[in-house]
Amino acid sequence: MLKIVFFGLFVVSTSAQSFLDILTRNQCFGLPPRPINGRYKLIGSSYARTASYECNDCFKMTRGLPYNTCSNRRWVNPAPICEREDPCQNRRRPCDYNAECISLGLGKYTCQCKSGYSGDGKRSYFRDSCSTYVRSGTSRKSGCKRACKRPFQWSNADYTPRQDSYEEFERIHWTCTSPYKQRSTSGSTAPVSQFCYFGHWSGTSPTCLLSLCDDPVAPGNGTIRPSKRLTWNKGNAVTYGCNDGFELVGNATVTCEAANSFANPPTCAPVAEGSG
């Protein structure tokens, strides 16, 4: 009777083990291989049959399968390869539309403006923690703005600084070349400046005229007529006068001479007491 029971228990135990072997033949008790810079997720019961893979942020699966299966209690496939994403392939486009994205590897990139544009080439509102932007050039202006070419070179005027192209809002300063002098209807002789704006130069270049003499200067406590002209040529005359309480010392009329000035201008001296 005991043998039968023992034999019966043995038979039952053997049958249960065979059933368990069949049930777990395609199940793995160990963990699947983990990808570098990635992770896996077990699918199914505690005895998983399948695992899915995905890469960490900033990485992309370049080789291998996104899943793994279990056969004969072994994981069939090796872990996939996760490599850092190329920021230049980012659909959010890290560079300006008028710039070229240049990948430098290891998540680094730089932006280079196309011909006719200037700036750092980077989109000012682009934020990406996955990549590192390497600034090229010295400009701190975001994006690519239309650059200005060299201005027209007048024969009687020159400008600084001289360079092949100019960034937006960059200025140039004009001066008249000798013997020309800067003249304007307002009488201003201040240097003329222009700045680059959307590929064009603002304002106008200076008016440089051939003037033999500089503008004459009124004496202290005196007046001069006319005080301003666009040009002063040989023979042009000015008349000097004095304010009340002063008298003119010298010639009242002086002409522009070849020495580029009004020679020997008069002065105004206080009227002596008791004179007159």
Q: What is the arithmetic mean of pLDDT over 221-227?
A: 90
Per-domain boundaries in the chain: 24-83, 87-146, 149-210, 222-270
Residues 6+ apart with CB under 8 A from 46: none
Per-residue confidence (pLDDT) for residue 134, from 0 to 100: 63
CB contact at 8 A, 238 and 214: no
Work out the percent of the chain whose per-residue pLDDT is above 70.
78
Residue 211 token pair: 């003037």
What does pLDDT average to over the chain?
80
| pLDDT, tens only, 198-218 | 888 988 888 888 877 878 889
Q: Print burial letters for 119-133: b (CB count within 10 Å at least 16), e (below 16).
A: bbbbbeebebeebeb
Cα–Cα distances (Å) from 25 to 13, 99, 176, 177, in that order, read 18, 57, 95, 96
| pLDDT, tens only, 86-138 | 888 876 778 888 899 988 887 788 888 888 888 888 876 666 667 666 655 44
| pLDDT, tens only, 144-203 | 888 888 998 888 899 999 998 888 888 999 988 887 888 765 656 677 899 998 888 988
Least confident of 140-144, 206-210, 255-259: 140-144
Burial class, 145, CB count within 10 angstroms (exposed 0-12 / middle 13-18 / buried 19+): buried
Whole-model pTM? 0.44
What topology is assigned to 149-210 in CATH?
A: Complement Module; domain 1 (2.10.70)
What topology is assigned to 24-83 in CATH?
A: Complement Module; domain 1 (2.10.70)
Q: What is the arithmetic mean of pLDDT over 225-240?
A: 86
Q: What is the arithmetic mean of pLDDT over 11-34?
A: 62
Check if 24-83 and 149-210 are the same fold: yes
Secondary structure element (H or E) that encloses residue 16, with its range: helix 2-23
Per-residue confidence (pLDDT) for residue 4, from 0 to 100: 42
Architecture of domain 222-270: Ribbon (2.10)
| pLDDT, tens only, 35-74 | 999 999 988 765 668 899 999 888 889 999 999 988 888 8
Residue 141 token pair: 């202006």
Is 21 in a helix, a strand, or coil? helix
CB contact at 8 A, 80 and 53: yes
Phi and psi, residue 186, nearest 5°: -85, -10
Residue carrying the six token digits 């002596």: 272
Cα–Cα distance, 275 to 273 (Å, whole number): 6
Phi and psi, residue 219, nearest 5°: -70, 160
Per-residue confidence (pLDDT) for residue 106, from 0 to 100: 77
